[in-house]
A and B are shown apart, each in its own frame.
Chain A
Amino acid sequence: MKGVAFGEAVRATMAEIWAHKLRSGLTLFGVILGTLAVVLMVTLIEGVKVMVWDGIRGLGFDGVMFVSARPPEDLTERKKQGISRGLSARDLAVVREGAESLQAVAAVQISERVVTARGVARRARVHGVTPSYADVHDREVRSGRWFVPSDEEERRKVAVLGAELAETLFGTDNPVGREVRIGEALFRVVGVQTRLGNRFANSGWTRREMQGVLIPLATYAAAVQGGERVAILSVRTADKENLHLVKAEVERLLRRAHRGITDFEVENIADEILRAEKEITVLLRNWTIVLASIAGISLLVGGVGIYSVMKISLVERLYEIGLRKAIGATDGAILLQFLVESTTLSALGGVLGCGLGALLAALLSPQFEAGLPLSPLGLGLGISFAVAAGAFAGVFPSLSASRLTPVEALRG
């Protein structure tokens, strides 16, 4: 009985929607826009989220701490600062061998120089780095190669260009194999870095690195600026749960190597990134709630549209209700018929809204580096909100229709 009555309800609904194409279309309009808004909002937020996480990962600060040289804060220590040798490439071995929780350790020396190629000159940051720099910061080259140990040992004058500097100096040409002048010395370009971060996530360090050039640390000492001193020691740990313990360990090892003088500072970048990630997560979640609510309101408006159309439809079809009851339709069968009608209307709107959402997402996709895949969450929310709005809007008109006595309904 139920199945048969359901079939009849669906058939009658289709005939009804088809017979009132314009009215159905106008009703659907609200639901379509509402669903579209929900689908698109959630999809956009998900798209932004992917971009943000990709960008943060692309910065290469995952589990990273920077050790930089700095005068001691303690006055007593400052007076005897001379007994320490200061932050130098030798500290690399100290932390690498001393701290087991570290995955990779790199030394970086930096300075500003004029870099020239093909008559174009730019002031740029020159990074003298150990080959391990790529391991600490997940650096990759988009063409050519990264440094090898022999570059360091033989103090070769080879350079890896940051992505933006490569474009500034060489345009669309491939710089690999060409020469650049850094300060007074000539270098051969062996590689070009990939871009770091993206529109949604970047940092001063990575921006300057992209606009700069990297050379082996030993070559740096020989050709750019002499001395053992380094500006930065960057270390990376896999133990992100205990960042403060790792930090303390690094500090302990270095203080001992520096004869008790704290002439350095450990900057816990990984911790800052983690905190930023948490803030971003909360921010994105709040935005999702705000935008989904706004989209939900437009769905509510769509629901009100369905409600009024169902009311009108009911008054128009009182005679039909009376007739159906006269030939044996139960209250339940009438209720079912009208509920199916309102739910079908809204579900149809939901599906059309999702389709439109898919279309718009495809159009917006080129604006996102990682593309803009339609969010399944958005689709699910959109469809279920639409169906719920239809069912809810249909309940009261349907209930009142089903409770009429045949004679009341026939009389109109």
Chain B
Amino acid sequence: MSQTPLIRLAGVWKTYDTGEVQVDALRGLDLTIGSGDYVAIMGPSGSGKSTLMHILGCLDTPTRGSYLLDGEEVASLSAGRLAKLRNQCIGFVFQTFNLLPRASVLRNVELPLLYGGVGRDERRARAQEILDMVGLSDRARHLPGQLSGGQRQRAAIARALVTRPRMLLADEPTGNLDQTTGAEVMEVFDALNGIGQTVILVTHDAGVAAHARRIVRIVDGRVSEDQARAA
């Protein structure tokens, strides 16, 4: 592990102002995650775990506190730099797969590279390569609607990985899948972490969390338990 941890959250607050009521989703949360880690974030609904995930993925910014990503303070970055960070450092997998319905699987996977300004030929080659890896190369020309749920989630993982991000964030990645396909998807995460990919996932399923090497429990916007597991 390097001197600087990949992620260091210190005293992070996130307050949602809904006009009348102020809701504190995070209340001074501290969390450090190193490169190559495999972390499951658990907690009851409303505990703030999704908010934490959005902040980790730079989809949202803390109201107070510090988020150092690779030693850099995220709050100080411009909108353009944040977009670049999301594009190059972070791969995000959503519960609902979130593929563009009118673009082929290949185009969906290419999209982050396109926003990253990668040329056409390299884009195609890298997307094909990553689809190969998740076992979807024969589905590249299909539309998302023609794929099964497990295949769609694997396509979404391929899209998250295509820019070779520093970390892979997954928000309830098996939430919309049955037991068997969920297990298939988890195998993909396991394999990725096996080759050194940092994986952080949010789940309420203990079976899913059991795949991780570290389980962080969130209650009321704070870390209540941080437990390393034997590999």
Contacts and interface: CB of A to CB of B under 8 A. Distances in A.
A4 interface: yes
B102 A329 contact: no
Most buried by A among B54, B57, B115: B115
B87 interface: yes
B117 interface: yes
B98 interface: yes
A4 B114 contact: yes
Contacts of A405: 59-61
Given A328-B83, A406-B60, A407-B59, A19 B159 contact: no
B115 A323 contact: no
Given A15-B102, A320-B100, A327 B115 contact: yes
Contact of A328 (B54, B86, B94, B100): B86
B162 to A, nearest CB: 9
A407 B163 CA distance: 21
Contacts of B115: 5, 324, 327-330, 333
A323 B102 CA distance: 14
B84 interface: yes
A198 to B, nearest CB: 57
A327 B60 CA distance: 13
A407 B14 CA distance: 13
Contact of B116 (A15, A328, A331, A406): A328
Given A327-B86, A330-B79, A331-B79, A407 B111 contact: no
A377 interface: no
Main secondary structure of the interface of A (DSSP, over half): helix
Interface residues of A, number: 26
A120 interface: no
B102 A16 contact: yes
Interface string A317-343: 001101111111111010000000000
Most buried by B among A19, A322, A327, A410: A327
Contacts of A328: 83-84, 86-88, 112, 115-116, 163
Interface in B48-102: 54, 57, 59-61, 79-80, 83-84, 86-88, 92, 94, 98, 100, 102
A389 B218 CA distance: 52
A407 B58 CA distance: 9
Contacts of B120: 4
A319 B98 contact: yes
Nearest to A328: B87
A93 interface: no
Contacts of A5: 114-115
Contacts of A323: 94, 98, 100
B146 to A, nearest CB: 16
B57 A4 contact: no
A326 B86 contact: yes
A233 B115 CA distance: 83
Contacts of A11: 103
A320 B119 CA distance: 23
A375 B60 CA distance: 54
A73 B150 CA distance: 109
A406 B86 contact: yes
Given A15-B103, A19-B102, A406-B60, A325 B83 contact: yes
Interface of B: 54, 57, 59-61, 79-80, 83-84, 86-88, 92, 94, 98, 100, 102-103, 111-112, 114-117, 119-120, 159-160, 163
